[in-house]
């Protein structure tokens, strides 16, 4: 099957799309292809997820319910936990996790396993696009050899009979403005033909595609995007701590003022630490790779360290806050508001709340509770072992009963005016009370000049 044949198949929507990994990245992509009229099969090792999808249950908040139900009802989207029939797939996407090991080295086992599953079904006319965020050379150094070994046995040549590209994901969970369809995407294929066909496949669901000369460029580009955020957040976190040390300057006011510059500045805000599956992890992918070249990415490492210090900084402030109330740590009733890693999402992966709650338990706090409209229960590991908290009801009585409120995630659903009114003392890590009337003496604001 020639390159032209696959293009025709895609153009006429006769191509079958297979998405491996149905999480925050894979499921929205699968639903978008199905919405565009492509028969789409989702593959996930989690039988529970597959069962839920089969029963018409959408578990990713960013996928609009009506979109999900429409493609479920039409039969254009199906999900399975095995690879039966995968030989029929024309376009494979790999959207599996790329975590780090305990020692913060890249863990590419999920990518390898997905590539092996594709290799078992490789045939002429297939296109494979890796989307998982990873270090440069994963596509050509890991995915390509795994699939190529099987393809060669069938006499298939990469760039002629089958095609491989890297195209990083840019989805921003909770962002209503930028979705899969209207966020430009970068594509880099192993050969020019790979780039061509991958761009064409991606264009079916994304309005704007930017092609680059190789998968390595696309892989590095994605890391630049995420490390750019990590470095800039570290910068404001460091300055926030300086403001607190100096007193009398609010970093929030400083950023707001700097953001009036219409060029050359982009606002970033301080916070209790990084979270999510990307920003806290990706810098380690690059520093690990750099070491192979006797290169120390000191800038990146410094920013990761600065950001990782933030939960410790917050816990120190909570201890001081409790002391200022004249309460013993072990008796203090501390209510944490928000455990998701960012506003208005239910994703708790690598959330700063995990570290902060663990450190509070280690410091001797015994009466800890949390409330989060998006998270029913929350688990974390303290030195003494694993704990699971059930989310508490957020009402005036719960706020008044707390010696200290610790605001970690500024969900829009929180009743800020009521909290500011009823709380004895608030440790605010997000400047969440700026827009409601509040008694400034009741709020310890991170970066506010008196934290
Ligand atoms: N979440 C984001 O906002 C975001 C944004 C950009 C990029 N990314 C990147 O995209 C990738 C996926 O992230 P995510 O947030 O969607 O992860 P996720 O954990 O939400 O979903 C991954 C899914 O893959 C499944 N899976 C794991 N191994 C598998 C295998 N061998 N075969 C089939 N399914 C398998 C898991 O069961 C899970 O359902 C990561 O590399 C991440 O860094 C994520």
Say if residue 233 is in the same domain as residue 207: no
In a domain, 220, yes or no: no
Say if residue 209 is in the same domain as residue 236: no
User: d(Cα 42, Cα 22) in Å, to the nearest integer?
Assistant: 6
Say if residue 322 is in the same domain as residue 440: yes
pLDDT of amino acid 175: 86
Taking a C-beta distance cutoff of 8 angstroms, is the pair 397, 416 a contact? no
Q: Using a 6 Å cutoff on CB, does residue 171 contact ligand 1?
A: yes
Confidence class of residue 257 from pLDDT cuts 50, 70 and 90?
very high
In a domain, 451, yes or no: no
Say if residue 208 is in the same domain as residue 234: no
Catalytic residue check, 243: no
Domain coverage including residue 337: 229-445
pLDDT of amino acid 276: 85
In a domain, 223, yes or no: no
Tell me the whole-structure pTM to 2 decimals: 0.92
In a domain, 224, yes or no: no
pLDDT of amino acid 2: 63
Give the closest residue to 43 by CA, choosing from 35, 34, 53.
53
User: Is a pLDDT exceeding 90 seen at residue 438?
Assistant: no
Say if residue 327 is in the same domain as residue 358: yes
Domain boundary among 163, 180, 213: 213
Say if residue 189 is in the same domain as residue 246: no
Q: Which of 18-22, 162-166, 177-181, 258-262 has the lowest mean pLDDT?
A: 177-181
Domain boundary among 213, 247, 279: 213
Domain boundary among 213, 243, 259: 213
Atom of ligand 1 nearest to the CA of 171: 5
Q: pLDDT tens digits for 387-427?
A: 999 999 999 999 999 999 999 999 999 999 999 999 999 99
In a domain, 267, yes or no: yes
Ligand 1 mean position to 94 CA, how many Å? 9
Q: pLDDT tens digits for 281-317?
A: 888 899 999 999 999 999 899 999 999 999 999 999 9
Say if residue 316 is in the same domain as residue 209: no
pLDDT of amino acid 154: 97
Q: What are phi and psi of 140, to 5 degrees?
A: -85, -25
How wide is the angle at C-alpha 270 spanned by C-alphas 267 and 271, nearest 5°?
Answer: 135
Say if residue 40 is in the same domain as residue 165: yes
Ligand 1 mean position to 388 CA, how many Å? 24
Say if residue 193 is in the same domain as residue 291: no
Say if residue 159 is in the same domain as residue 258: no
Q: Using a 6 Å cutoff on CB, does residue 97 contact ligand 1?
A: yes
Ligand 1 mean position to 107 CA, how many Å? 13
Q: pLDDT tens digits for 130-169?
A: 999 999 999 999 999 999 999 999 999 999 999 999 999 9
User: Is a pLDDT exceeding 70 seen at residue 1?
Assistant: no
CATH at residue 334: 3.40.50.720
Domain count, the chain: 2
Say if residue 243 is in the same domain as residue 392: yes
Q: Using a 6 Å cutoff on CB, does residue 25 contact ligand 1?
A: yes
In a domain, 233, yes or no: yes
Say if residue 168 is in the same domain as residue 306: no
Q: Using a 6 Å cutoff on CB, does residue 132 contact ligand 1?
A: yes
User: d(Cα 135, Cα 300) in Å, to the nearest integer?
Assistant: 14
**Catalytic option among 194, 199, 243, 278:** 278
In a domain, 131, yes or no: yes
In a domain, 218, yes or no: no
DSSP-derived pairing of the beta strands 385-390 and 404-407: unpaired
Confidence class of residue 102 from pLDDT cuts 50, 70 and 90?
confident
């Amino acid at each position: 099957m020639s390159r032209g044949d696959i293009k025709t198949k895609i153009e006429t929507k006769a191509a079958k799309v297979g998405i491996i990994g149905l999480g925050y990245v894979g499921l929205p992509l699968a639903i978008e292809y199905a919405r565009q009229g492509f028969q789409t099969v989702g593959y996930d090792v989690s039988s529970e997820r597959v069962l839920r999808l089969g029963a018409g249950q959408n578990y990713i908040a960013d996928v609009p319910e009506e979109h999900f139900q429409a493609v479920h009802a039409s039969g254009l989207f199906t999900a399975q936990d095995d690879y039966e029939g995968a030989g029929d797939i024309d376009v494979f996407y790999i959207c599996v996790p790329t975590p780090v090991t305990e020692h913060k080295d890249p863990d590419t086992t999920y990518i390898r396993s997905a590539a092996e599953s594709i290799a078992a079904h490789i045939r002429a006319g297939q296109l494979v696009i890796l989307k998982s965020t990873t270090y440069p050379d994963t596509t050509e150094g890991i995915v390509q050899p795994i699939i190529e070994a099987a393809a060669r046995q069938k006499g298939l040549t990469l760039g002629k009979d089958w095609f491989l590209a890297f195209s990083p994901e840019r989805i921003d969970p909770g962002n209503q403005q930028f979705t899969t369809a209207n966020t430009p995407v970068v594509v880099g294929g192993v050969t020019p033909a790979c780039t061509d066909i991958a761009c064409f496949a991606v264009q079916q669901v994304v309005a704007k595609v930017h092609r680059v000369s190789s998968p390595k460029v696309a892989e590095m580009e994605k890391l630049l995007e995420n490390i750019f955020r990590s470095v800039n957040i570290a910068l404001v976190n460091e300055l926030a701590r300086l403001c607190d040390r100096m007193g009398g300057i609010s970093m929030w006011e400083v950023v707001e003022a700097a953001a009036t510059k219409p060029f050359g500045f982009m606002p970033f805000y301080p916070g209790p630490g990084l979270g999510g599956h990307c920003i806290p992890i990706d810098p380690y992918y690059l520093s690990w790779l750099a070491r192979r070249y006797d290169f120390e990415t000191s800038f990146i490492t410094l920013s990761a360290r600065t950001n990782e210090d933030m939960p410790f900084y917050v816990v120190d402030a909570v201890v001081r806050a409790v002391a200022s109330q004249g309460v013993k740590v072990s008796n203090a009733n501390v209510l944490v508001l928000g455990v998701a890693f960012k506003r208005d999402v239910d994703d708790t992966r690598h959330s700063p709340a995990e570290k902060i709650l663990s450190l509070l338990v280690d410091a001797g706090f015994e009466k800890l509770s949390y409330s989060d409209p998006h998270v029913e229960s929350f688990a974390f590991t303290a030195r003494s072992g694993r704990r699971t908290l059930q989310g508490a009801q957020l009402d005036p009585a719960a706020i008044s009963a707390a010696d200290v409120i610790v605001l970690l995630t500024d969900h829009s659903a929180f009743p800020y005016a009521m909290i500011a009114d009823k709380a004895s003392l608030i440790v605010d890590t997000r400047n969440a009370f700026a827009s409601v009337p509040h008694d400034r003496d009741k709020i310890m604001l991170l970066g506010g000049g008196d934290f």
